[in-house]
Amino acid sequence: MNNKLYILFGSIAATALMSGCVSRGNNPGWEYAPDMYYSKGYEAYNQGDSNKVNPYGMNMREPVAGTVAYGKLDYKYNLENSGEGYEASAALLSPADATLEDGRGKYLYDIYCTPCHGANGGNDGEVFKKVSTLKPAWKAYTDDYIKTLPEGKIYHTLTYGKNNMGSHASVLSPKDRWKVIKYVKLLSNQSVAAAEPTTTDSTATTK
């Protein structure tokens, strides 16, 4: 009996002692460097708030000029958006992994290019149908112009745009651009590659 009482009082005393040392509730005790606990949550896209470090109170900053983010080396494109740049782009070669195998070239072409150039590159997309003045001089991808157009020049056009065609750099990564180019070349040679089951569209006969 006595033993049980000792244990009871003992544990009450111990609890009282321990809860005396350990802080309660949300109080973590003394803070030696509060900044480390409560970091200021800057909003990435905000500007002009209390950011004292960056100019204009910006939170997000551009990368240092001339630097390339890790793993983004192929985003570096040295040719200028000019006639000379376009001519020089003829020498660009597609990377070895730019193939049609994964179907991504066709997938992206169907999304971004068909509105103007049509499902098979016949320049019969809805936009060109509605505003025929937008159409280029060449009639279809099967024209010799596109057949013989260096892939590098198409890359240049996809990157910067050309006259009525806008830049696609924001929607196609460099690798994707090359894949789409491979698909354009496939379409341009479709009379040659007719055996390939790439298109089942009824407009396939459009020249």
Region of 26-34, 46-54, 92-100, 161-169 interacting with ligand HEC (CB under 6 A)? 161-169
Question: Nearest approach, Cβ of 197 to ligand HEC (angstroms)?
Answer: 21
Question: Nearest approach, Cβ of 67 to ligand HEC (angstroms)?
Answer: 28
157 binds ligand HEC (CB under 6 A): yes
Q: How far apart are CA 156 and CA 84, in angstroms?
A: 11
Q: How far apart are CA 168 and CA 157, in angstroms?
A: 8
Number of residues that bind ligand HEC (CB under 6 A): 22
- Among 58, 88, 134, 204, which residue interacts with ligand HEC (rule: CB under 6 A)? 134
Q: How far apart are CA 124 and CA 108, in angstroms?
A: 18
Torsion of CA 160, 188, 87, 98, to 10 degrees: 70
Q: How far apart are CA 32 and CA 89, in angstroms?
A: 59
Region of 8-16, 74-82, 163-171, 190-198 interacting with ligand HEC (CB under 6 A)? 163-171
Angle at 155 between CA 147 and CA 157, to 5 degrees: 90
Query: Residues interacting with ligand HEC, by CB under 6 A?
Result: 109, 112-113, 115-117, 127, 134, 136, 146, 149, 153-154, 157-158, 162-165, 168, 180, 184
